[in-house]
Amino acid sequence: MGIGTAASRKGALIVNADDWGRDALNTDRTLDCFVRGTVTAVSAMVFMEDSERAADIAREKGIDVGLHLNFTTRFSGRRVSDSLVRHLEKTSRYLGNHRLAQVIFHPGLASSFRYLVESQLDEFGRIYGTKPKRLDGHHHMHLCANVLFSGLLPYGTTVRRNFSFLPGEKSLANRTYRRTLDAILARHHNLTDYFFSLPPLSPVSRLQRIFALAKESCVEVETHPVLPEEYAFLTGNEALQLAAEVCHRT
């Protein structure tokens, strides 16, 4: 299934693999899952060592690809300018300094965040031949204050929302903060109805509840097939059985 929008209210299950193109292992393990049918979309990193090969594969296989914006991890590709390195060092240092840095707008870094977003959008267009229709962030930093409140994400695109949580999993203050950010995003972007992480993989009842939501809602599930436990699950039979239950009932 392709990515849906909250406005459509059509049931959809999107299992999205992050870090496509980060390196060969990330790309190849994700491709294994896509071929098997347990990954339905990917989020691509640019300016990384396997970005261009991953783009070639995605075009050949018809994979649904969004842009995985990076503000925290060293660019490892060959087409990395000194300016990219310099701006990434600034944002990475700031975001890694304190756990609350993500929620505090830093005016002195506004130009660095803008430069990094625009450069990655341009590079995605160069290697994929089109502008990204979906965006999210490495370590979810597309939701940091410097990106969100500067309007750096292209209007009209589908943007990954905050994690959704089942009852009792987070405090009221935490849930309120996340709902506020999602409301800001929804003014100019399409959102899925729900967003979850694939792990924890047990108890299986957790995933059954999450997958069941896709019978009537648009649900995105984030995965990292490079991690052995997630790769084993996605290449086994259990993931296919859970997805089949959703498809059978929708």
* Domain containing residue 125: CATH number: 3.20.20.370
- Is the residue at 75 inside a domain? yes
- Is the residue at 77 inside a domain? yes
Say how far apart CA 221 and CA 21 lie, in whole Å: 19
- Token readout for 197 is 């992480």
Question: At residue 70, what is the residue type?
Answer: N
Say how far apart CA 87 and CA 222 lie, in whole Å: 27
- Is the residue at 62 inside a domain? yes
Q: Which domain holds residue 60?
A: 14-201+219-236
- Is the residue at 65 inside a domain? yes
Number of domains in the chain: 1
- Is the residue at 108 inside a domain? yes
pLDDT in tens, the chain (250 residues): 333 333 344 689 999 999 999 999 999 999 999 999 999 999 999 999 999 999 999 999 999 999 999 999 999 999 999 999 999 999 999 999 988 899 999 999 999 999 999 999 999 999 999 999 999 999 999 999 999 999 999 999 999 999 997 666 777 777 788 888 999 999 999 999 999 999 999 999 999 999 999 999 999 999 999 999 999 999 998 887 787 766 555 4
In sequence order, what are the residues at sequence separation of 6 or more whose Cβ sits closer than 8 angstroms to the Cβ of residue 225? 17, 26, 29, 30, 32, 33, 39, 231, 234
- Is the residue at 149 inside a domain? yes
- Is the residue at 212 inside a domain? no
- Is the residue at 245 inside a domain? no
